[in-house]
Amino acid sequence: MLQIALIGSSHKEETLLLSTALHTGRRNQVKIRSSYGGTIRNVAHNLGLMKLAPNFCTKLGNDDASVQLWNQLNNLGVLMFGPTVDLPTPKKVTILPPDGQPTVFWDRPDEFTFQPDDLLPHAVFAQADLCLTDIKNDLVLSQLTKKSPHTKWILSHHIPDKNILVDIYGLVLNYEDALTLGNPSEFERICYRLCEFGPKFVIINLNFQGIYLYTNHNGAHYPTRYQESGYYNGCYSAFLSGFVAGLACQTSTEIATGLGLDAAALTYKTADLINPEIAELLHH
């Protein structure tokens, strides 16, 4: 089993589940679900449930919420690292109507964004086999990759400068990222050009249409495995979790993609960001 390291943001999460469409200027009946979120934090949680014991570096606030977040992941076997910011934990509020299209509000100070002068546990990343991050600051990414030259770095939702792509193992892009480079009919050419600089694979999240995977000079579409209606919130983190878990088990990129889609389908069934059933993903 390969060792996994993660670096990304964490926050408090409140999801307001509406029973009907949102009506402004009048009362709306809602159910409130409180949890902790952050794409990479959710991945750490899922991998902890799978007993893969990842290392996770995140910026935490100086309050009870961050202590609870730390303890929650630590109890799952996630080894935590990261600087403390002398501010309350960031907060995200998501309004989720019956059609599943969320509206998001943020309270996240800039201090919680990783910066080049942050003191980071570079030895942790250097000792890992795989590292997943959603950091978008190229100066920080350059420091991370240069100090861990043997680690396979996977970037989420970011296309870095070409001189950083040389040190990147793979890219997982959202649909909007890919559209900045060309239209869908050009995705294979776009991925080919990105891989020329270094990455071994490029994944494009097509949302409800599934995943486009380009690897070994071939592109393929993998449809979603959702059944009936559900909740898309949390599915992307679940996909990343299943995908990274597959790579940690040293499966092929194609098989890892299938595991990612299975994980997303599990999470789609619940309004929560985490579905505990993901613990059994690798045993299916």
What's the pLDDT tens digit per position in 239-278? 999 999 999 999 999 999 999 999 999 999 987 889 999 9
- The predicted structure's pLDDT at residue 108: 92
Angle between helices 64-74 and 39-49 (to 10 degrees): 40
What's the pLDDT tens digit per position in 182-217? 999 999 999 999 999 999 999 999 988 999 999 999
Q: What is the DSSP letter of 228?
A: S
- The predicted structure's pLDDT at residue 230: 82
Ranges of residues in the chain with a pLDDT under 70 are: 21-26, 28, 99-100, 284
- The predicted structure's pLDDT at residue 23: 64
- The predicted structure's pLDDT at residue 28: 67
- The predicted structure's pLDDT at residue 228: 76
What is the rounded CA–CA span in Å between residue 61 and residue 99? 34
What is the rounded CA–CA span in Å between residue 206 and residue 232? 12
What residue type is 98 in one-letter code?
A: P
Spatial CB neighbours of 252, under 8 Å, sequence gap ≥ 6: none
CA 235 from chain centre, in angstroms, equals 9
- The predicted structure's pLDDT at residue 22: 65
Strand order in the sheet with 11-18: 30-37, 11-18, 91-96, 103-107
Residue 263 near residue 250, CB atoms below 8 Å: no
What is the rounded CA–CA span in Å between residue 15 and residue 30? 9
- The predicted structure's pLDDT at residue 79: 97
- The predicted structure's pLDDT at residue 19: 73
What is the rounded CA–CA span in Å between residue 162 and residue 116? 19
Distance set, CA 109 to CA 11, 114, 127 (Å): 11, 11, 31
- The predicted structure's pLDDT at residue 16: 83
